[in-house]
Structure 1
Amino acid sequence: MENYDLSLFNQQTKLQIVQQVNQLLQLNNQSFSLTTVDVEEVLDNRDQALKDYQLIDFSLANTLHFMEQAAQERRMVKNEYLTMVEVLQESFYYLHSLQPAEDETLWEKIQEIYEKFDGNLEYVQGYIEDFPTLKEDD
């Protein structure tokens, strides 16, 4: 499930994402599982972020990264999970629109900020909006 083109974002792709993420959720003892509707919501949020920041992303790798990262967090309920994925994904595309960088570099920066604020998504989002640089000394 590495690279996709836009024509592959169909029901089968959504089902594959559901299965992949649900396995990870189960491995991490989360008390919920995702449905196709949940994945559609994540993809809709992704599409909106891409439109908002005037970007194109022909892969679902970034979305999958954040879905998998969130699945490995402390126990949470489904709404918290979906909110976390939305905030991390939107933050990623926001940073990408301001200063294009390798995806992995942005993932690491967002993870550093996430850890700095102990997972408080409001602080993470606010910090990224106030200080959207990739400097290591932030």
Structure 2
Amino acid sequence: TNQSGLARGYFDQAGLDAIHRTMAAHLEGAGAWLSGVFFCPHGPDDGCVCRKPLPGLIDQIVAEYGDVTGVPMVGDSLRDLEAGVARGCRPVLVLTGKGRRTLDKGLPETLGPVDVYDSLAGFVDQFLKDPS
């Protein structure tokens, strides 16, 4: 995730770590787990390579886990989808958050086919039934 709030001083690393721990605890309570959390701590004007839509975060994931070609890249913004497509991920748009606005603006053909779900939960339910 892009977490420019760190660079802008809206929250600190300890606060973000607490959010990640809470998220992991909720997932563990449901029988799931996180293998890792990848985020860009930079602001929009910092010129880093890890801020989406650049694929630097995806590159970090590839370095840690291997090829991500065909793996779903789920997001609610065009920049999420662009970062994933740059490394061969399958774009999945969820309509929660900024997703509805993203869809309403129109998706560029450069993304190829994009799967669209009403929510992350809707995507997860379908993915668990059929991960292909």
So what's the TM-score if we normalise by structure 1? 0.34
Q: Which fold has the larger relative contact order, with Cα–Cα distance below 8 Å and residues 6 or more apart in sequence?
A: 1
Which is richer in strand? 2
